[in-house]
Amino acid sequence: MRTLIAAATAALVAAPALADQMRIDVAGGTSGTIVIDLFEDVAPAHVERIEALAGEGAYDGVVFHRVIDGFMAQTGDVRFGDSTAAEFDMASAGMGGSEMPDLAAEFSDTPFTRGMVGMARSMDPDSANSQFFIMFADAPHLNGQYTIVGEVVEGMDVVDAIKRGTGPNGSVVGEPDRMESVTITAE
């Protein structure tokens, strides 16, 4: 009996912890669901921020404001990017964050490859707040320069279909796709 209990305990301890997942239901010209494994062990403060904002519903209705073909799709401006808000102005989307303070960088050696999710920031490495981007393709020039928070595990076809930007710096012109709802599930 003691051997059986010790073996069961060892198996539980050896099992890797499963990641929380972020589920993004996309609406607009593109519709579908994106599922992202969040990397709590790589960027705990950034993942905690994403989970808090998703829990508040802050990401619901927020547009993909900067989408560059062959590079990435950016979203998460909870201040100016809510397309359901009466004062929504696409020209301002991407200029804000949340009311919470900016986060210190949590750079890692995880490479920016297709499907990786990173935190957007200004020139200051410690300025990430609420915005994030999903990679369409590998981008080694971002390695060690931006915080990686997760990886798409389902729905890359939805990511690939997000409306591309045709404005300056990849800004979306016209009606952008949006995150209809964002939820977190513990796995």
Q: What is the pLDDT of residue 9?
A: 47
Q: Do residues 115 and 152 make contact, with C-beta atoms less than 8 angstroms apart?
A: yes
Q: Look up the pTM and report it.
A: 0.89
The predicted-structure confidence for 72-124, as pLDDT tens digits, reads as follows 999 999 998 888 888 788 888 888 999 999 999 999 999 999 999 999 999 99
Q: What is the mean pLDDT of residues 40-47?
A: 97
pLDDT above 60: residue 54: yes
- pLDDT the model gives residue 98: 94
- Residues with Cβ within 8 Å of 181's Cβ and at least 6 positions away in sequence, in order, are 24, 25, 60
Share of the chain above pLDDT 70, in %: 90
For residues 154-167, average pLDDT: 95
pLDDT for 17 equals 54
- Tell me if the domain spanning 18-185 has CATH number 2.40.100.10: yes
How high is the pLDDT of residue 18? 59
pLDDT at 14: 44
DSSP character string of 48-84: HHHHHHHHHTTTTTEE--EEETTTEEEE--TTT-BTT
Is pLDDT above 50 for 140?
yes
The strand pair at 148-154 and 62-63 is best described as: unpaired
